[in-house]
């Protein structure tokens, strides 16, 4: 029996509410209106209605993360062993993987547990394309025939993406994605589209998820799964209309699934910014934008834009003479103009004395302009 507690779907999908949405009301009326609060399938991460986008690079474990989400919502157990979920029936459309692989993942998840997969987790390995009559009818049939449906995961989007003529521009992509979102809201479920990320120097990490911004714009929330292939850890960055921008650290378990790595929410660093910080750490000295571009293989124009934003966000410091370094190097490298002047005056007073502490000879004014403390 479906939960009869009113929630956002009751407001957005009923005929009377649709009429109210199209009517003109005063701000005072809206202020006094009784609107139930938003509810979540995963507390703080996954609203129970709307359209979501989940992106990650190929073969880094994103499908394991999505399948784990499906299992945890179907069972009402903690996602990644940490986030509270609310039990609902789930449809997982594994249109890129075959049934043998999914069976192996089920055995991997339940091999050490004295239980079996939930009966309210449904699977399909083939599905019509989005925008077709068959797509809508099959989803509606599952929703109507299933007790308490709540979550539909489409893994992967490209397998069911609408066959559009010409370029997949913003308007075309936004049109079908908006229709899919309205379908989800009207049927009181949440639909998640899984897609690959692409190599990009985009300053916004979420812009790396494949497809045009039309799909991004129609989505209520976006999850980005980012993992270094050489490590067992990953980051899950989330953003959305009804969720707080956060980044969570995950670590991979022996069975391939993911576990929350502590309670501290760690700051997300895009791959480009990560490469810049790593290059500075390895060099242990200030580096110019052009040299950083060569080391990190980021285009010169992109790296200058990224560096400016990193300085604005407090990730790095822009030292004198157009070079960049880590924040903790402030006491080692190029001081402010005022401090340089004071030190140069002091150096003049001890002319011909040992001034190694400043890293230059007072008689050499060209070296004095690149003042640097010598390593002790």
The closest of 302, 304, 328, 303 to 315, measured between CA atoms, is: 328
Structure tokens at 328: 């903790």
Domain membership of residue 375 (yes or no) is no
Residues 122 and 233 in one domain: yes
Residues 148 and 227 in one domain: yes
Q: CB under 8 Å, gap of 24 or more: what pairs does 95-102 form?
A: 95/124, 95/125, 95/126, 95/127, 95/154, 95/155, 95/156, 95/159, 95/160, 96/63, 96/155, 96/156, 96/159, 97/63, 97/125, 97/155, 98/125, 99/123, 99/125, 102/67
pLDDT at position 302 is: 79
Cα 144 from Cα 59, distance rounded (Å): 34
Residues 243 and 343 in one domain: no
Q: Which of 76-90, 154-168, 305-319 has the highest mean pLDDT?
A: 76-90
pLDDT at position 371 is: 32
Q: What Rg value do the Cα atoms of the chain yield, rounded? A: 27
Region of 291 (left: φ > 0; alpha: ψ -120 to 50; beta: rest) is: alpha
Cβ neighbours for 145, distance < 8 A, ≥ 6 positions apart: none
pLDDT at position 369 is: 34
Residues 151 and 227 in one domain: yes
Domain-ending residue, one of 226, 260, 294: 260
Sheet hosting strand 149-155, strand order edge to edge: 121-124, 89-94, 149-155, 190-196, 50-56, 221-227, 233-240, 246-252, 258-260
- The dihedral over CA atoms of 359, 364, 367, 373, expressed in degrees to the nearest 10, equals 20
Contact (Cβ atoms closer than 8 angstroms) between residue 142 and residue 187: no
Residues 197 and 305 in one domain: no
- The DSSP secondary-structure symbol of 193 reads E
The closest of 247, 243, 238, 240 to 265, measured between CA atoms, is: 247
Region of 166 (left: φ > 0; alpha: ψ -120 to 50; beta: rest) is: left
Q: Identify the domain containing residue 32 by its residue range.
A: 1-36
At residue 215 the predicted structure's pLDDT band, cuts being 50, 70 and 90, is: very high
- The DSSP secondary-structure symbol of 98 reads -
Which is it for the CA torsion 55, 188, 105, 268, positive or negative? Answer: positive
pLDDT at position 2 is: 41
Residues 12 and 142 in one domain: no
- What CATH number should be reported for the domain holding residue 231? 3.40.50.300
Residues 42 and 32 in one domain: no
Q: What is the pLDDT of residues 258-304, one digit of tens each?
A: 999 864 444 555 667 878 888 998 988 899 999 998 898 888 777 88
Statement: residue 50 has pLDDT above 90: yes
User: Average pLDDT of the chain?
Assistant: 81
Q: What distance lies between CA 278 and its chain's CA centroid?
A: 21
- What CATH number should be reported for the domain holding residue 314? 1.10.10.10
Which residue's structure tokens are 């402010």? 336
Residues 46 and 20 in one domain: no
pLDDT at position 268 is: 54
Range in 8-17, 120-129, 167-176 with the lowest mean pLDDT: 8-17
Q: What is the pLDDT of residues 69-111, one digit of tens each?
A: 999 999 999 999 999 999 999 999 999 999 999 999 999 999 8
Q: What is the pLDDT of residues 132-141, one digit of tens each?
A: 999 999 999 9
CA within 13 Å, CB half, 243: 25
Q: Considering its fold, how many domains does the chain have in total?
A: 4
CA within 13 Å, CB half, 281: 7
Cα 146 from Cα 136, distance rounded (Å): 15
Percent helix, strand, coil in the chain, to 5, is 40, 20, 40
Statement: residue 249 has pLDDT above 70: yes
Strand-pairing partners, residue 251, are 233, 259
Residues 204 and 162 in one domain: yes
Contact (Cβ atoms closer than 8 angstroms) between residue 173 and residue 215: yes
Statement: residue 148 has pLDDT above 80: yes
**Greatest CA separation for the chain:** 91
By the 10 Å C-beta count (0-12 exposed, 13-18 middle, 19+ buried), 160 is classed as: buried
């Amino acid at each position: 029996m479906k939960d009869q507690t009113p929630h956002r779907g009751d407001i957005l999908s009923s005929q009377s509410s649709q009429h109210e949405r199209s009517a003109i009301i005063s701000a005072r009326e809206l202020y006094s209106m009784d609107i139930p609060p938003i509810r979540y399938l995963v507390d703080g991460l996954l609203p129970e209605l709307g359209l979501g986008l989940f992106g990650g690079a190929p073969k880094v474990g994103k499908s394991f993360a999505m399948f784990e989400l499906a299992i945890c919502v179907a069972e009402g157990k903690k996602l990644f062993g940490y986030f509270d979920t609310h039990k609902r029936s789930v449809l997982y459309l594994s249109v890129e993987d075959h049934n043998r692989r999914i069976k192996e993942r089920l055995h991997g998840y339940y091999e050490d547990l004295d239980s079996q997969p939930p009966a309210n987790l449904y699977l399909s390995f083939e599905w019509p394309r989005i925008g077709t009559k068959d797509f809508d009818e099959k989803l509606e049939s599952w929703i109507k025939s299933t007790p308490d449906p709540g979550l539909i995961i489409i893994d992967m989007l490209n397998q069911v993406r609408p066959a559009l003529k010409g370029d997949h521009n913003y308007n075309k992509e936004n049109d079908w994605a908006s229709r899919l979102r309205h379908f989800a809201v009207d049927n009181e479920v949440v639909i998640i589209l899984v897609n690959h990320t692409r190599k990009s120097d985009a300053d916004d990490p979420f812009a790396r998820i494949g497809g045009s911004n039309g799909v991004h714009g129609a989505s209520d929330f976006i999850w980005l799964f980012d993992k270094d292939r050489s490590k067992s850890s990953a980051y899950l960055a989330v953003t959305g209309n009804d969720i707080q921008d956060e980044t969570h650290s995950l670590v991979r378990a022996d069975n391939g699934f993911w576990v929350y790595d502590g309670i501290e929410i760690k700051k997300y660093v895009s791959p480009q910014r990560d490469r810049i910080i790593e290059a500075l750490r390895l060099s242990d000295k200030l580096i110019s934008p052009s040299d950083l571009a060569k080391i990190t293989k980021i285009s010169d124009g992109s790296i200058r834009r990224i560096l400016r934003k990193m300085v604005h966000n407090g990730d790095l410091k822009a030292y004198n003479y157009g070079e960049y370094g880590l924040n903790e190097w402030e006491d080692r490298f190029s001081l402010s103009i005022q401090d340089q002047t004071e030190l140069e005056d002091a150096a003049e007073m001890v002319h011909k004395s040992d001034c190694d502490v400043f890293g230059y000879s007072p008689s050499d004014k060209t070296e004095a302009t690149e003042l640097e403390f010598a390593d002790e």
